[in-house]
Chains A and B, each alone.
Chain A
Amino acid sequence: MMLKSIFAHKNLMFGGTIVVLVVLMAIAAPLLAPFDPVFDADLMNSEMPPGGEFLFGTDTNGRDVLSRVIHGARISLSVGLVTQILNTIIGVSLGLVAGYMGRFWDDLIMGLTNIMLSIPVIVFALAIMAALGPGLINLFIALGLTNWAYTCRITRAQVLSDKKKDYVKAAKSLGYSRASIMFTQIMPNILGPVLVIATLGSAEAILLEAALSFLGLGAQPPTPSWGGMLSSARDLLFVAPWLSIFPGIAIFVTVLGFNMLGDGLRDLLDPKSVGATKLGGVR
């Protein structure tokens, strides 16, 4: 049943396959990569075009681009994962408190959310990075603390509608404490939409990481990060285009994969979505 409906959703299938492949690539990076992404530098092989020993060519320092792209998946995925875990925990907790406690808490949290939403994430992240300094850990913090507003809003809206349902009234009358109503009763019911947002958010975070690394604020060289690779290939776009093309494709495909997976999950979790059965000859 479940499997059948997963196959019926093309987005889910396609996006899921991409994401699984990227994850496998990240896990098996040392096995897949023909060279070490950092230490196999040989200035004799500097800026070799794709082909032969180096399938994707080499960069200015003579490192294999293919190996660096493969290892770059680790950075991108960990950015997606870590930031979304942080965002989800913050967003869901704040949303639950705002929606369930109401009054003062609601005003406070929604005010904060609106402020977060009115400042572009990249500007916010830049400000944090400026204060903390560049680096991967700081990037996690910057992106993980700034992008929870949507999760919070969706959670709050869901809590407001679930709060009125009889099962919550029943829980109250059975003596459940406030915390257990929020976390054991209501929360499981909002994880579906939150998962969708987290998946779509991963794609956004991967793009942001690339952008911040491009600006020189993300993972520091020689760490192989897709955004960082693009950044250092900036001046060589016409001389050695493969330096930009391959990390660019990697970002594009991964982000596309996460976005399609997110859309697919949304369709799958939507109770109104129609089953797979087809009727022949509708009159």
Chain B
Amino acid sequence: MSAENREAPLLEVSDLKVHFGEASAPVKAVDGVSFSIGRGETLGLVGESGCGKTTTGMAIVNLVKSTGGSILFEGREITSIDHLSRAEQLQLRSQIQIVFQDPFSSLNPRMSLFQTLDQPLKIHGMAPQDRRERIDMLLDRVGLNPAHASRYAHEFSGGQRQRIGIARALALNPKLIICDEAVSALDVSIQAQIINLLIDLQEEFGLSYLFISHDLAVVEHLADRVAVMYLGKIIEAARYDEVFSAPKHPYTRALLSSIPVPDPKGRGEERQTIKGEMPSPFAPPSGCHFHPRCPVVMAKCKVERPSLEFVDEEHQVSCHLSTKQADTSLGTPKKGELA
């Protein structure tokens, strides 16, 4: 699914920057991020809280204003949509939709399920009869009972609310859906239902996903390609199997090894924890942002910032070690190193 469509990506983000605060001392929430998403492709965007992954997603749908770089959707510049006419804005809005993390705050408590789906269709000028048909179709696809259409958000369970959120995102027939931690707040049994639903809908409607998550196991399950973010930058990007079987950046390795695996047989193997915490974007470290926590830090890392380079046809890494030698044999961090 990934390789064939690389020539004509649906979404192309290049050198995206979102800086907050004073121009003299900006907080660089997103600092030069580039990636593309093909038609029908899922890009997993992973990282710890505060790494800028959600801000990146919000910038793509223009909920956060980007301060630099460009976002192309089907070859069209959408970095800022203020200059577009209302009709053009509406057309664009219908193409890219979001599914949010919190199934409770993402639905308007004063609107019934029917209104939640009907209003956007109405805004986009659909006739009442067509709207009703479309709503029935949507409810059927996401597995909700049409008889419940008059119910309000609080009458649904968390999983059902997330289905409503997905139906709302699907309502305008988008090409790209940004899933911002869309399954993170759900119980395990419900999470499986929603993940399966997302996969089914992708196949049926040919959707592309930007799947933003901190849960690497879920991302591995869903994504075709994975980009790892750290402090506003992408530090590694590759096909999912590359990232999970041969991670090249020390941070990706650390991230993978700190996940507790639900199998007690693996307990003998030492879990590798990295020391410290992600630094504040208010005061990013010099050189490579990861160097204070890096187990294989070199003198060069403290002064010179590595750039994201291809080490392989489809594998990009931002690390002095990887770019110097294609094949790296990185040391392993010691267990139990603390801040």
Interface residues on B, range: 20 to 34
Within 8 A of A (CB), among B83-98: 86, 89-90, 93-94, 96-98
B102 touches A (CB below 8 Å) = yes
| In contact, B89 and A188 (Cβ under 8 angstroms) | no
A234 touches B (CB below 8 Å) = no
| In contact, B124 and A165 (Cβ under 8 angstroms) | no
- Given the interface contacts A175-B89, A184-B119, does A170 sit within 8 Å of B124 by beta carbon? no
Interface residues on A, range: 10 to 19
| In contact, B63 and A172 (Cβ under 8 angstroms) | yes
| In contact, A165 and B105 (Cβ under 8 angstroms) | yes
Number of A-B contacts (CB under 8 A): 60
Pick from A166, A180, A188: contact of B123, CB under 8 Å: A180
- Given the interface contacts A175-B123, A189-B109, does A169 sit within 8 Å of B100 by beta carbon? yes
Within 8 A of A (CB), among B107-149: 107-111, 119-120, 123-124
- Given the interface contacts A172-B63, A173-B93, A174-B97, does A167 sit within 8 Å of B107 by beta carbon? yes
| In contact, A188 and B98 (Cβ under 8 angstroms) | no
Distance A167 CA – B165 CA, assembled complex (angstroms): 9
Distance A171 CA – B108 CA, assembled complex (angstroms): 9
B172 touches A (CB below 8 Å) = yes
| In contact, A176 and B123 (Cβ under 8 angstroms) | yes
B5 touches A (CB below 8 Å) = no
Distance A177 CA – B85 CA, assembled complex (angstroms): 12
Is chain A's binding surface mostly helix, strand, loop or mixed? Answer: helix
Chain A residues within 8 Å of B171, by CB: 174
Within 8 A of A (CB), among B40-82: 58, 61-63
B225 touches A (CB below 8 Å) = no
A185 touches B (CB below 8 Å) = yes
Distance A185 CA – B110 CA, assembled complex (angstroms): 8
Distance A188 CA – B97 CA, assembled complex (angstroms): 24
B106 touches A (CB below 8 Å) = yes
Expressed in whole angstroms, the minimum distance between the Cβ of B80 and any Cβ of chain A is 15
Within 8 A of B (CB), among A91-110: none
| In contact, B93 and A170 (Cβ under 8 angstroms) | no
- Given the interface contacts A166-B100, A170-B168, does A175 sit within 8 Å of B90 by beta carbon? yes
